[in-house]
Structure 1
Amino acid sequence: REAIQLAKRMEEFDPFWFEEPIAADDYEGHRRLTEATTIPIATGENEYTRYGFRDLILRGQIPILNADAIICGGVTEFMKIAALAQAFDVDIAPHGPQEIHIHLVAALRNGLILEFYRDTVDPMWGKIYRHTLTLNDDGTVSPPDVPGIGIEPNYKALAPYRVE
């Protein structure tokens, strides 16, 4: 009920989406919220299985999923979730590490947006990988031109945090 009240108050500002307003497994709550507001609801960063995402789509009527390849079972499982979402005209806006998700969202017909972290969010973010992504002047991000998925840890930067 509180999420519906807040959504109604936010509608005049026309937000792009309302993210994670209620628990991921409250499918009935998601359905009620989606029906009660004009703001698209985005959720899924706290969902871990394709079956949970299926229920968010079918029972919760969610228009935008924030799947995270790190927590939902890896790249293959993420792509299965994205294919399921595409079958129901649901967009994917991945949550989490942009270095992993840039390739995935670029490969999707229903890829909506890439979450992008700047160093100001977490000072270590721009140091933990050898090849970091940069935000282009036009607001886009280009995938790395290195082999594979493009993630190579910066072991030198991570060394002070090593635990034995």
Structure 2
Amino acid sequence: MQLALGQRDSYSLWRILQTERIATGDVLVTLRAESAFGILPQLDKSKIHPGCVRGVEAALERVLSSAYRELPQSVVDQCRNAAVMVISRWMHVETGDADPIEQDLGHWIRAVKVKFGEQEMVALRSALEAINRLHPRGKDNEANKHQLRQVEEADAEFAVHALGFILREVKWAV
């Protein structure tokens, strides 16, 4: 069920995730924002290849869903997946390649560098790289091997904001 909070001309939609009666007898309601406002920018679907919109939207929805209820590593993993979806579909349009989609994020970081040069798209590559570097911290073997600290809530929040930055850099944000 959805709940609208605010006034008729200014409101936000929320999804009711759970209700429970607490010890005092009151009802505790857990809500999730239906909008990505303040978390991820709204997509400008007109800038995305029509065949790619659905996949990109699904990846971003998984990020939003995980951001509200999963552990930090899951949020980072979903951000990495969404970053791959965004950058691969964007590069597909930028390069005109027939089949650039099935590659890892590291490949796309290098591909952006090759396509645009060392001095261009540095911020985009850096945001992609940051998300890519957070990913192995949740893998016990990798974290132990490289003596990496565990992913924290702040790292997950950073990954979500970096994803929003990526959407703005490729001009897919409204």
Band of TM-score, shorter chain: under 0.3
More helix, by proportion: 2
TM-score (ref. length: structure 1): 0.28
